[in-house]
């Protein structure tokens, strides 16, 4: 993982850049237009904007995204059924299917929104997995937060922490379109945020569970995971369900299908070989599960998605 420590001068320049009013959007219409342009642009794989001094915002975005409250107080409604009270330092990881509305309760409210296209996630996760085997579990697990169908993840970050500065630096490089710097800063941010992930009852983080599953995805079992964690299988099962709102088997199957989707669009391997490489002994079950979760067969998915 990269070690990146900004100088005092860089921090001064950062705040001068971010305080430029041209980086702020103030209405739902402006934001919707911004998101539409981002989706239509083949040159942009990440985008960022700031919103402030708007009493209510309601917009959809078909991209994984990060929302971070820089200042003020906000009430957010997630998928219309979950209400959250947010203040400076609150961050939301949301997948592409999540609908977020929020209302500001202070005139100084400022929110940064970072949007990420799936191809950026897949491309960079693969790069690090290939270039450094030790990075694979960390990258896949972290990017899974943005690419999965789980509930949004809400974190509270100290506003004087490295995590806070890494988010701000990431937004600056995205706004400045300094593409070469975006992923190193993104990874630096994820590294910092790891300290604020939800904790399991014995101090094991949710992130650690995902890392273990990713590491042995093709062969992992509930029993082997439990042994690694030092718990009984029944307690491990309950702990996973409580923290992820999914069963162990559902997490593993979702991850296998996501990895199969990537192989289908990033390699010329036969579908049967893809099935084997993600850990399906029964190929007919792989075909059935893939169609059930993706809405099309592996062959149809490959034909509909050009090789990257």
| Domain of residue 121, CATH code | 2.60.120.280
The SS3 of residue 110 is strand
Mean pLDDT of 24-49: 84
Extract the runs of DSSP E, i.e. beta strands, from the chain: 24-25, 46-52, 56-59, 65-71, 73-78, 82-87, 90-94, 100-104, 110-116, 153-156
* Structural domain for 25, as ranges: 8-196
Domain count, the chain: 2
Q: Is the pLDDT score of 305 beyond 70? A: yes
Together in a domain, 38 and 185? yes
Cα separation, 141 vs 194, whole angstroms: 11
Q: Is the pLDDT score of 108 beyond 60? A: yes
Together in a domain, 257 and 111? no
**Residue 1 located in a structural domain:** no
Together in a domain, 166 and 275? no
Cα separation, 279 vs 84, whole angstroms: 39
Together in a domain, 138 and 252? no
Together in a domain, 189 and 210? no
Together in a domain, 163 and 241? no
| Domain of residue 225, CATH code | 1.10.10.60
Global pTM value: 0.63
pLDDT at 185: 87
pLDDT at 300: 94
Domain boundary at 163, 196, 229, which? Answer: 196
Binned at pLDDT 50, 70 and 90, residue 133 comes out as very low
Cα separation, 48 vs 112, whole angstroms: 7
**Residue 3 located in a structural domain:** no
Q: Is the pLDDT score of 139 beyond 60? A: no
pLDDT at 124: 67
**Under a CB-based contact definition with an 8 Å cutoff, are residues 200 and 212 in contact?**
no
Binned at pLDDT 50, 70 and 90, residue 235 comes out as confident
**Residue 244 located in a structural domain:** yes
Kindly report, residue by residue over 169-184, the tens digit of the pLDDT: 899 889 888 888 888 8
Q: Residue written as tokens 């702990």?
A: 239
- Structure tokens that stand for 242 in this block: 């409580």
**Under a CB-based contact definition with an 8 Å cutoff, are residues 150 and 162 in contact?**
no
Together in a domain, 175 and 280? no
Lowest-pLDDT range of 84-88, 152-156, 219-223, 286-290: 152-156
Together in a domain, 238 and 102? no
Together in a domain, 94 and 213? no
Binned at pLDDT 50, 70 and 90, residue 191 comes out as confident
Together in a domain, 239 and 183? no
Kindly report, residue by residue over 51-98, the tens digit of the pLDDT: 765 567 766 677 888 889 988 888 988 887 789 899 999 998 887 778
Together in a domain, 250 and 287? yes
Instruction: Count the Cβ atoms, other than its own, within 10 Å of residue 58.
Output: 13
The residues that bridge with 66 in the sheet, in sequence order, are: 93, 114
Average pLDDT, the chain: 80
């Amino acid at each position: 993982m990269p070690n990146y420590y900004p100088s005092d001068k860089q921090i001064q320049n950062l705040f001068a850049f971010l305080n430029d009013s041209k980086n702020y959007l103030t209405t739902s219409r402006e934001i919707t237009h911004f998101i539409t342009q981002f989706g239509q642009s083949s040159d942009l794989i990440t985008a960022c904007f700031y919103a402030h001094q708007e009493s209510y915002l309601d917009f959809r975005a078909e991209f994984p995204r990060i929302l971070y409250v820089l200042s003020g107080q906000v009430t957010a409604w997630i998928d219309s059924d979950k209400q959250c009270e947010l203040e400076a330092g609150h961050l939301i990881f949301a997948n592409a299917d999540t609908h977020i509305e929020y209302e500001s309760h202070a005139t100084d409210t400022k929110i940064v929104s970072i949007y990420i296209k799936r191809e950026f996630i897949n491309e960079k996760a693969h790069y690090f997995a290939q270039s450094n085997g030790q990075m694979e579990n960390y990258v896949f697990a972290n990017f899974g937060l943005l690419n999965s169908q789980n509930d949004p993840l809400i974190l509270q970050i100290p506003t004087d922490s490295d995590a806070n500065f890494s988010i701000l630096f990431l937004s600056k490089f995205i706004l400045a379109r300094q593409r070469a710097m975006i992923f190193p800063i993104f990874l630096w941010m994820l590294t910092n945020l790891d300290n604020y992930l939800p904790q399991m009852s014995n101090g094991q983080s949710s992130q650690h569970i995902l890392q273990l599953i990713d590491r042995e995805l093709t062969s992992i079992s509930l029993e082997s995971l439990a042994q690694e964690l030092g718990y009984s299988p029944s307690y491990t099962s309950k702990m996973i369900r409580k923290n992820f709102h999914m069963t162990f088997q559902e997490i593993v199957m979702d991850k296998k299908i996501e990895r199969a989707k990537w192989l289908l669009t990033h390699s010329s391997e036969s579908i049967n070989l893809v099935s084997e490489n993600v850990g399906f002994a029964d190929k007919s079950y792989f075909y059935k599960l893939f169609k059930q979760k993706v809405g099309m067969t592996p062959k149809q998915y490959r034909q509909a998605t050009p090789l990257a």
